[in-house]
Structure 1
Amino acid sequence: MRTMNIHYDAIIVGGGVIGSSIAFHLSKRGKKVLIVEKNQLATKASSAAAGMLGAQTELEKDSPLYRLARKSRAMFPKLSQELKELSGIDIELVQNGMVKVAETDEEMSLLQSLVPLQQKLGEEAEWIPSEELRTQEPALSEHIKGAMSIPNDGNVSAPSLSKAFAHSAVALGADIQEYTEVYDFIKEENKVKGVQTLAGRLYADETIVAGGAWSEQLLKQAGIQLNTYPVKGECFSVKVEISPIMRTVFANGCYIVPKLGGRLVIGATEKANTFDESVSLKGVSRLMERATKIIPELENAQWEKAWAGIRPQTEDGYPYLGRHPEWEGMSIATGHYRNGILLSPISGWQMAELLDGKELDDHFRVERNSIRELRI
C-alpha cells in the first residue's frame, strides 16, 4: 500500500475509523485519495472501542448530535453489505438492541420519563419493569429496578469496521501509507497544499486532519488550537460458553456488550487530559465490581484481556466536521469522543459532501466559538 509521487485530490491524516470512512466515501465519488497513518491502520481508539451503536443511549433531548447519530445508525445495514463485498471483511453488525438499566429510584424515574420523549422523536423505546426484565434477561441482578429497552441500538466490531473502510477505499482506488508521521503542512500564502513527512512531501488539493485525540497537536502547526482534550477509557473482555445476556446492558458507569464467539466487552473508565495508554488495576477493578454487581455470574467468566484507548472530546461535546476557517485546502474531522464508531459512516459522507461543495450543519463547523488563533 505504498504511494507513488503523484498529486492527490485529498490527503487524509489519520488511518482510524473516521479517516478511513472519509477515504471510503471520497473514493466512491471518484476522488484520488491517500491515507497517511503514523502507526498501523485501525489502532489507537478505533481498535479500543466496544463498537456500540448507541444513538439513543444518552438521548435526553432532541439535538443536532442526536439527529446526526440517528442518521449514521441507519446507514449500517446497507454499509455492512457494501463493505463486505468490497473488502471481504465482516464488520459483525449485530442489531440486538440495548437495555439501559436503573439501579436506584432516581435512575428509574429518569429513564421512565425518557421513554415518551424518545417515542415523540420517532424512536422505539419502552419501560420494562423489573419482573419482566428478569424474565427476558434472567442473568441480571435482582437489585435492578427495571430498564428502558432500546431495540434499534446494536454493535459492530470496531477494529473490523475501521479496516473494512480502509480496505474498501483501496479497492476503489485509494492509497495508504502507514508508519509515516506528518510533522507539518505545506503552506503557500493562505493555502495548504499538502503535508510534510519524514519520508518527504505529499501534495493534494485538500488535506483532511482526522487524527483523533492527536489532531490538536498537529493542528498547532497550522496556527490554530481546538478546544479539545484527550480522555482515556479502559476496557476489558471475558469469554463465556453461553452469553448470559442477549442485549447490550448499559448502566451508570458501566456497559456490557455481547460479541460473537462468546466474548463480552466491559467498559469503560474515563480519565481526562492524559495520553497515557496504560491500563490501571484501579480502573479495571472498578469495572469488574460494577459488571459483577449487574450480572453476578460474570464472576465465573474466563478472563481474556484489558486495554485502553484515548478518545478526543470537545468542550461542547460536538465533533468538528468542516473546513479550517483561515487556511484554504484544509479540513478537520475530529472530536467524536466515545461516538466515533457510531458516527463514522455519516462523518465520512459529510466530509465527502463538503469537498463536493455542499454546506454542512453549522453546529459542527470548526470555527464555532471554540477555536482561537495561536500567536506563534
Structure 2
Amino acid sequence: MRKHYDVIIVGGGVIGSSIAYFLRRHTPYTVLVLERNKIGSEASSAAAGMLGAQAEIHEAGPFYEMARQSRQLFSGLGQELKEISGVDMEWVDKGLLKTAKDGCEAERLKDLAAFHRANGEPAEWMDAEELREKEPNASTELAGALFLPKDGQVNAPKLTQAYAQAAVKLGADFMEYTEAANFEFAQMGTGVQTSAGTFYGEKLVLASGVWTGRLAAQTGLHMPVFPVKGECLSLNFMEPVITSSIISEDCYLVPKQGGRLVIGATMRSGTYDRKVTAEAVGQLLEGAIRVVPGIRDGEWEKAWSGFRPQTPDGLPYMGKHPRHPNIYFAAGHFRNGILLSPITGQWMTELICGRKEEQSLVEFAPDRFVLEQMKG
C-alpha cells in the first residue's frame, strides 16, 4: 500500500467520508481516510438523520445560512451518491413538525414561524385540528405544531456508507481500525503515525468528531470539543404510526422505512459512558407517548447511544491550523453533522484546493478559543 498521499483524513464518520467523496469527485488529489474503528460507527451511526436546518437553528447568521445551503444540496446528492455507490440514503422530503403542549409553547413556535418567514423560509403554524388532520395519531392534548416543509430526513448510517463507498469507487483509500497515534512534521509532508505504519500527506484533515480536540492538542492547538451523550431507541410497527418527523420538548420521533420508528434523544454532557440506562429509555418512551399515544403499541427493536461533538459556542470548526497551514479541521458539528455533511465536504474541498478564502469561514475558525485559553 502506498505511504504518501495528497490528502490524509483522520476520521471516517459522515464528515470525514463526505470530505473524501467531494475531494475525489472534484479534484485529482489522492486521498486516504484513517478510521480508529469501523467506518461510520460512532455519532454518524447513532444519529436519527433529521435535516433540521430550521428546526435546530433559530438565529440569523452564518450558521443559519450554512445549514440552509447544506439542506438544499440533499435534493441532488441522493441520486448522485446512489449512482456511484449503489447505496440509497433514503432521503425523505415530507417536512418536520415541532409540537406545542400548551399555549405558551404555541406562542413561542408562532414567533419562530415568523422568524423563518422573515428570512424567506416556509413555516406554517397548525392548530390542534390541523395537526391531527396531518398526523391522525397525534395526541388530542397537543395545542398544535409548527410545520417546516423543507426540513427532511435521511438514513444516517446509509448516508455515511454512501459517501464512503462512492469515495472508494472514485479512488480513495480507507483504512479501518487504524488509529492516528501521533504526528510528525517532515519535509515529505505531515506524517500520521499509526499501528499500520506512518503515512505522509501533503495536507492533513482532522475530522474525528468528539476526539478531534485531543488530536488538535497534539499539534499544539487548543480547540475544545466535548462529548454530549445521546441515548436513542427504536420500535417497529405493522403500519407507520406517523409520516412526518416530530420534535417535542421531550423527544423526537423519526419514521423510517418498513414501519420502523426512531425515538431520541437524551443529552448528557461530559461523559464517554456508552451504556443506555433504564431511566433514559423510560423518559424517551413517556415523552413519545405523550405526543403519539399509539406508540405504546410498538414492538421493541433496540437501544443505543452516541457522542455528539460539542464546542463551547455551538459552532463547528472548519479551517486551517494557525501555525501549520497544511493541517485542516472539520469537527464539532454537534447535533447537525448529518445535515451539514454535504456543505462541509464541499467547503473543505474548496478550501484545500485554494478556491475558498479562509476568511469566509472566520466564524468557524479552529483557533477562535486560543486567546480565551491564554487569558485563562
TM-score, normalised to structure 2, is: 0.96
Aligned: 1:303 with 2:303:
no
Unaligned runs of 5+ in 1: none
Could you tell me whether the CA contact under 8 Å between 1:139 and 1:297 is conserved in 2? yes
The one-letter amino acid paired with 2:12 is: G
Could you tell me whether the CA contact under 8 Å between 1:98 and 1:154 is conserved in 2? yes
Match of 1:150 in 2: 148
Aligned: 1:315 with 2:298:
no
Could you tell me whether the CA contact under 8 Å between 2:126 and 2:147 is conserved in 1? yes
Q: Indicate the SS of the match to 1:201.
A: strand
Could you tell me whether the CA contact under 8 Å between 2:9 and 2:16 is conserved in 1? yes
How far residue 369 of structure 1 moved from its aligned partner, in angstroms, is: 3.5
Match of 1:64 in 2: 62
Could you tell me whether the CA contact under 8 Å between 2:221 and 2:370 is conserved in 1? no
Match of 1:270 in 2: 267
Q: Indicate the SS of the match to 1:243.
A: coil
Could you tell me whether the CA contact under 8 Å between 2:222 and 2:369 is conserved in 1? no
Could you tell me whether the CA contact under 8 Å between 2:206 and 2:212 is conserved in 1? yes
Residues 226-241 of structure 1: matches in 2 within 5 Å? 226-241=223-238
Could you tell me whether the CA contact under 8 Å between 1:225 and 1:372 is conserved in 2? no
Displacement over 2 Å in runs of 4+: 58-61, 369-374
Unaligned runs of 5+ in 2: none
Match of 2:77 in 1: 79
Between 1:361-370 and 1:21-30, the stretch displaced more is 361-370
Could you tell me whether the CA contact under 8 Å between 2:319 and 2:330 is conserved in 1? yes
How far residue 61 of structure 1 moved from its aligned partner, in angstroms, is: 2.3
The one-letter amino acid paired with 1:351 is: M
Aligned: 1:257 with 2:257:
no
Could you tell me whether the CA contact under 8 Å between 1:194 and 1:206 is conserved in 2? no
Aligned: 1:43 with 2:45:
no
Identity %: 47
Residues 202-241 of structure 1: matches in 2 within 5 Å? 202-241=199-238
Q: Distance in 2 between matches of 1:61 and 1:276?
A: 32
How far residue 372 of structure 1 moved from its aligned partner, in angstroms, is: 6.5
TM-score, normalised to structure 1, is: 0.96
Aligned residue pairs, count: 370
Q: Distance in 2 between matches of 1:371 and 1:315?
A: 14
Q: Distance in 1 between matches of 2:83 and 2:338?
A: 20
The one-letter amino acid paired with 2:176 is: E
Which among 144, 167, 177 is matched to residue 169 of structure 1? 167
Aligned: 1:7 with 2:7:
no
Match of 2:365 in 1: 365
Q: CA RMSD in A?
A: 1.5
Between 1:46-55 and 1:193-202, the stretch displaced more is 193-202
Q: Distance in 1 between matches of 2:94 and 2:233?
A: 21
Q: Distance in 1 between matches of 2:314 and 2:55?
A: 15
**Given the superposition, is the C-alpha separation of residues 348 and 371 from structure 1 closer, same or farther in structure 2, using an over 3 Å criterion?**
farther
Q: Indicate the SS of the match to 2:314.
A: coil
Match of 1:178 in 2: 176
Q: Indicate the SS of the match to 2:97.
A: strand
**Given the superposition, is the C-alpha separation of residues 302 and 370 from structure 1 closer, same or farther in structure 2, using an over 3 Å criterion?**
farther
Could you tell me whether the CA contact under 8 Å between 2:13 and 2:44 is conserved in 1? yes
Could you tell me whether the CA contact under 8 Å between 2:57 and 2:64 is conserved in 1? yes
Could you tell me whether the CA contact under 8 Å between 2:212 and 2:225 is conserved in 1? no
| Deviation per residue, 1:147-198 (Å, 9 max, x gap) | 1110111110100000110110111110011111111111249x96120112
Could you tell me whether the CA contact under 8 Å between 2:204 and 2:327 is conserved in 1? yes
| Deviation per residue, 1:17-61 (Å, 9 max, x gap) | 000000001111221100001111010100000000000003322
Which among 92, 108, 119 is matched to residue 110 of structure 1? 108
